[in-house]
Structure 1
């Protein structure tokens, strides 16, 4: 029996409220036409990216899997460290289970996967948080080193550090290259352009709508690659949002 692939694409900060506009865009429309649609899903509490993605990867609530915030409790630091590394997760992840079952795995900017022994082709989400660090050092340490160096060599011209929307352009190019040349059995891609844009400009801003359009284009590039590689029919594609956002008028420190 042919092994089914599972490819997960996480659209950070994409929620039910985005579906009306997204469904007018060509690639979202293609996906919706051939997919089961689940709406009204509640994210975990607090509704932050790292807890949500770890719950997606484990099927557990944060009090069970152990990732209870994006960042560690480090009040003495100006910039607290994030939960970047897989070792902090207390329950098995889908990546670990799949690896034991003989699946090859790739994750791209999927939170809390740093230094994972289960993932074959990993570009971990991490940034330098010490004066003596730089992006290449921390990424190389947390990711699959040879793979990370190869992808950076091929596509570093697309990046502008970790700024968006260039970072998602880079990750999409890496995803396409990985699909073509590695054909992993499982893939988990985390796209952050929309979340970053909403934090900067507001939830219902024109810029956020533009980010959804860019997201549609990137989805289209991935779909085209799957089709060209004759992988569409034996790949289960799960496209999801991890949380939504609301604008705030007051912040209490």
Structure 2
């Protein structure tokens, strides 16, 4: 081979042997309960420079969520690109018909049945950091993990957090770490400090951060309340701090803002337990204070409830439950919007464990008392969990980064398209996600 030709061949071989340029980092921030109108409208008096600036410089969308539109199933869809029927996180609280699990939530990542963005990135050799994302206890391969979990809100929760977090976390340099049960805006601000410290220490390729204070305040005071609006302004400031920290490390960082569901105002509660008890589907202890046994039972999810059967293949039982639900829905005092059967649940991506799914009317939420009348007043001023086709349940997407067009409105998108888009920005694939990327 002539010297010049040999040199050219060697150069070509060397160029093809070089690793592809690393994808820019992705910072994914979830703001619980963020409706699109909060940042899309500029005439609502809210000062949201971080969110609106990111939207103006990138792509954005309203998002149709999953069944049910509650935090844990939705966040798992956001991290997997799959519906609850596939990923296995069917509700916030685990199914606990006899109420013996002390309000145990789906905290553990071992319950997720499909591949997560965390796993895909870690398996690709990327550094991954998580702060407080739902269903994150025990995620394997993370560089640093501060998972979300709580039990009592007492000091022992801090010991539990330290035991379940990556060794050496929480970081002392970032100040006290809020307990898992602290859903206040102050708790968000404390976790933001820890997230910034982890960004600076590890310079991750992929980071997830979850902020919950806006959801908490909308439950307490209602959507559009002055208290909720004030919390959102402070969350916007926290987002600005996170983005500034990430882009100080790498200016090419892609920032993805997501939310899990919308919100609706509430004032009254419906109750499926009482008519189920009257129909003999639920039996109480002798003193009436607890559930002793059941044939069919509601599994509440905010503004809706799945109905579980003790014997799913019992046709007579299923027919009896259908008749009871039809009777409840016909009562205007019960506040029922509509009832899904198992076929409709499957089409909506809800859990296969539900035989029926009941949706409340606007202004109503699902109660779980074992006695009392329908339509009782509730102190909860805002709720989600309604069927995903309810417009008030739409959530948010804002994505800002190199190569994304400025100011592009994607319209209304499916929540399952977000994780594949994040995967593409990371240069990885999600093997279980089926829909094309949103951006």
Gaps of 5+ in 2: 1-20, 271-367, 369-439
Hey, what's the Cα distance between the residues in 2 that align with 1:157 and 1:108? 14
Give the C-alpha shift of residue 84 in structure 1. Answer: 0.5
Give the C-alpha shift of residue 145 in structure 1. Answer: 2.9
Aligned to 2:189: 169
Aligned to 1:67: 89
State the TM-score, normalized to the length of structure 2: 0.53
Aligned to 2:228: 208
The answer to whether structure 1 residue 237 and structure 2 residue 235 are counterparts is: no
Compare 67-76 and 8-17 and name the one that shifted more: 67-76
Q: Return the match for 1:2 from 22, 31, 40.
A: 22
Report SS of the residue matched to 1:146. Answer: coil
Hey, what's the Cα distance between the residues in 1 that align with 2:269 and 2:58? 39
Higher helix share: 1
Give the C-alpha shift of residue 23 in structure 1. Answer: 7.4
Q: Return the match for 1:57 from 79, 96, 101.
A: 79
Give the C-alpha shift of residue 7 in structure 1. Answer: 1.1
Report SS of the residue matched to 1:8. Answer: strand
CA separation of 1:104 and 1:244: change in aligned 2, threshold 3 A: same
Q: Return the match for 2:199 from 173, 179, 194.
A: 179
Q: State whether residues 138 and 164 of structure 2, in contact with CA within 8 Å, keep that contact through their aligned partners in structure 1.
A: yes
Give the C-alpha shift of residue 147 in structure 1. Answer: 2.3
The correspondence of residues 25-104 of structure 1 with structure 2, limited to 5 A, is 25-39=48-62, 41-74=63-96, 75-77=98-100, 79-104=102-127
Gaps of 5+ in 1: none
Hey, what's the Cα distance between the residues in 1 that align with 2:45 and 2:51? 6
Hey, what's the Cα distance between the residues in 1 that align with 2:177 and 2:167? 19
Q: Return the match for 2:215 from 167, 187, 195.
A: 195
Q: State whether residues 22 and 29 of structure 1, in contact with CA within 8 Å, keep that contact through their aligned partners in structure 2.
A: no
Higher strand share: 2
Give the C-alpha shift of residue 115 in structure 1. Answer: 1.2
Q: State whether residues 89 and 112 of structure 2, in contact with CA within 8 Å, keep that contact through their aligned partners in structure 1.
A: yes
Tell me the C-alpha RMSD between the 2 structures.
2.1
State the TM-score, normalized to the length of structure 1: 0.90
Q: State whether residues 55 and 61 of structure 1, in contact with CA within 8 Å, keep that contact through their aligned partners in structure 2.
A: yes
Computing the radius of gyration over CA atoms, which structure comes out larger, 1 or 2?
2
Aligned to 2:239: 219
Give the C-alpha shift of residue 24 in structure 1. Answer: 4.4
